[in-house]
Amino acid sequence: MKLAMIGLGRMGANMARRLMKEGHQVAAFDLNPENVAALAKEGAEGASSLADLAARLPRPRVAWVMVPAGEPTEKTVMDLAAHFEKGDILIDGGNSHYKDDARRSRALAEKGVLYLDAGTSGGVWGMERGYCLMVGGDEGAFRHCESVFKTLAPGMGDIPRTPGLKNPAGSAERGYLYCGPSGAGHFVKMVHNGIEYGIMQSFAEGFDILRHASSPDLAPELRYGLKLEEIAELWRRGSVIGSWLLDLTSIALNKDPELSSFAGRVQDSGEGRWTVQAALEEAVPAEVLTASLYARFRSRQQNTFGEKLLSAMRNEFGGHVEKK
């Protein structure tokens, strides 16, 4: 399939590379012409504007928008839609709020443009590992673009099939899923990120406890000088808490056991807040997710080793750099 990729940052450019590697044709646009030129050298078709980009696509046009959530996404989607026609498909693969998706979908439907929201997880590792994709919007548009989702997704890999899997014919075990109408994809991704906050906070607090096991406040016979990088590696092997986040924790601690390059000021990208807001709207208790969000707020006032580890994990999976 030939499609457009708008936004050639850390994820957008790598997604385009993965698509091209598997035989898709990519027309690329970014506000920075240098990013377009760099990807064009790798086989993409560079465009000089959104109008130029739209003119390069066959009907029905398919465009994937991968720019920061909020006003950048709003402007890009609406500006591009002005060059699209009935039956063309716009995909927002960023971290938009699901209520914005529902609103945009209604607005684009007035001119017959189809809109998909694609929650995308995979970070800077996605080009090699694949991206977990949570998609909402018009189901017909999803089916038309399914070859794109299938290429970007990780596939089954070496993960064994879940015993008793309810829908073995479905796409979930291959790493992509049609979740429902407009907003459903980003809603699922939002909660995914809220859960991520909680898991990361658990690792951070646990390793902080391990690090302080040698505290002078403890009885001398109960002080332990533990090597955190070795414990992280140990837990990767057969432990019930083994996970990709633990893999990244081990990488970070083996690079720098003291995490001396991190201050521990942990940012939040919005989805954690939105998850807590959704819990409030649904009257669903979410103590762990709420506490993990508040811990990030506190980290900007005083920093612990655990918060340095949170920053280190964010850097490993997403290339997120601490704000000084």
How far apart CA 22 and CA 96 sit, in angstroms, is: 27
**58 within 8 A of 2, measured Cβ to Cβ:** yes
Give residue for tokens 């949170």: 310
How far apart CA 191 and CA 196 sit, in angstroms, is: 8
Q: Cβ of 15: how many Cβ atoms within 10 Å? A: 25
**182 within 8 A of 117, measured Cβ to Cβ:** yes
How far apart CA 47 and CA 307 sit, in angstroms, is: 42
- Name the active-site residue from 110, 150, 189, 322: 189
How far apart CA 291 and CA 280 sit, in angstroms, is: 14
Residue 268's Cβ-count burial label (10 Å; 0-12, 13-18, 19+) is middle
How far apart CA 74 and CA 99 sit, in angstroms, is: 12
111 labelled catalytic: no
How far apart CA 134 and CA 184 sit, in angstroms, is: 8
**102 within 8 A of 129, measured Cβ to Cβ:** no
- Name the active-site residue from 21, 71, 166, 196: 196
How far apart CA 32 and CA 259 sit, in angstroms, is: 33
Task: Catalogue the long-range contacts made by 42-45 (C-beta closer than 8 Å, 24 or more residues apart).
Answer: 42/17, 44/5, 44/16, 44/20
**25 within 8 A of 45, measured Cβ to Cβ:** yes
**156 within 8 A of 173, measured Cβ to Cβ:** yes
How far apart CA 173 and CA 159 sit, in angstroms, is: 9
41 labelled catalytic: no
Give residue for tokens 């936004």: 7
Q: Active-site positions?
A: 189, 196
